Amino acid sequence: MKKTALLTLFALCASTYAHDDHSHKINPVALSQAPFTDADFVTGQNNFKYKVDLAWGETPTGKANLGATHGGVAVDKAGNVYVSTNEKDGIVKLCGDGHFIKGFGPETHSSHSLELKEENGKEYIYAAFNSQKKVCKMDLDGKIIWTINGFPDHPAYKKAKPRYAPTAVDVAPDGRIYVSDGYATSLIHVYSADQKYLTTFGGRGKGEGTFSTSHGLTIDTRGDQPYIIVSDRENRALQRLTLDGKYVDTPIKDLRRPCAISIMGDNIAVAELSGRCVILDKDFKIVSILGDNPNKKEHHSYKVDPKDWKPAIFTAPHGCSFDKDLNLYVQDWNFKGRLRKLSLQK
């Protein structure tokens, strides 16, 4: 690569990682050249109208696709974007302008969720790995700080062939670690800051404080008291609980299989597996609907081919994250890997 181009990239990414000329765009060339109108790139209502940028994002070096996506998205304070993949690159790190920085490697492949937290002035990523039966804390370069392997000592796992598949992890302000066994028991396990098992609550059900696939879990610190928000996917709702696991309320129902949320200020973005995302206000009211897919055959479909993608239409939103400017990054569950940047229109 020419020296001037390399210096330009360093300025764009504010990073020490070099960019390789053989990276590809996340969004296929055929899609970016399709005969779409300007309206095909715009979605949303009220103060949350977005435009999709098909020029944003590069694949890992030497690869034509991002790789299968079945995970989450996170954005750090510097604007770098982290996205889960099911490939050997594992978690992929992009700078804010979309240039590929690095993959974290095989130890981080198939991370199902990503939460980013600042602790003592430094940011860390927390990730759950359902197929590997573990949760990890890592730094922003992918170095693993600690791992909790396997399930805790709880009666639900005393069977001959116990099932355990953690789908989400987050950390409370007091350091307690919350792990959701979303793909197995729908239990939520609590660990101390030094990764010692403390207690369990939740479980499968349709009543208050029980879940039908506790798919996502996020600690909401916006108010005087922090709460747990659980993306109760198959009950089509979000539930709130105290940090001790006591049911508070179900602030919104009738969602379309909510998988994960992102909180920024008073706003919550919800990735819904059945073909759309929504933005909620501080009272959990829908103020904008994004990417609503009219083709129900594409809802929660892993095999939608890139040639059938529409710029501002989703197929199976699985992870999402705001950045500080309320731009939104959405990852679809997709066999080729689909990540969209939606830029807020002002």
User: DSSP labels for 119-163?
Assistant: ETTEEEEEEEETTTTEEEEE-TT--EEEEEES--S-GGG-SSS--
**Percent of the chain with pLDDT strictly greater than 70:** 93
pLDDT of residue 33: 73
Confidence of residue 28 (pLDDT cuts 50, 70, 90): confident
What mean pLDDT comes out for the span 274-292?
Answer: 98
Strands 122-129, 134-138: parallel, antiparallel or unpaired by DSSP? antiparallel
Q: Among 23-32, 63-72, 206-215, 255-264, which is the least confidently predicted range?
A: 23-32
Rounded to an integer, what distance in angstroms lies between the CA atom of residue 225 and that of residue 242?
8
Average pLDDT over residues 205-230: 97
Measured between its terminal Cα atoms, the distance across the chain in Å is 37
| CA-closest candidate to residue 328, choices 92, 81, 161, 87 | 81
Which band of pLDDT confidence, cut at 50, 70 and 90, is reported for residue 254? very high
pLDDT value at 18 more than 80: no
pLDDT at res. 1? 43
Superfamily name and number for 23-344: TolB, C-terminal domain (2.120.10.30)
Per-residue b or e along 301-322, where b marks 16 or more CB atoms closer than 10 Å to that residue's CB: beebebeebbbbbbbbbbbbbb
Which residue shows structure tokens 């602030």?
251
Residue 258 has pLDDT above 70, yes or no: yes
pLDDT score recorded for residue 157: 98
Query: So what's the pLDDT on residue 13?
Result: 54
Neighbours of 181 (CB within 10 A): 30
Cα distance between residue 209 and residue 230, in whole Å: 10
Give the range among 3-12, 98-107, 110-119 with minimum mean pLDDT: 3-12
Does the pLDDT at position 221 exceed 90?
yes
Backbone phi, psi, residue 107, to 5°: -65, -20
What's the pTM?
0.93
- Is the confidence at residue 194, as pLDDT, over 80? yes
Q: What is the mean pLDDT of residues 28-40?
A: 83
- Overall average pLDDT of the 282-288 stretch: 98
The stretch 195-205 carries a mean pLDDT of: 98
The band of 321, judged by pLDDT with boundaries at 50, 70 and 90, is very high
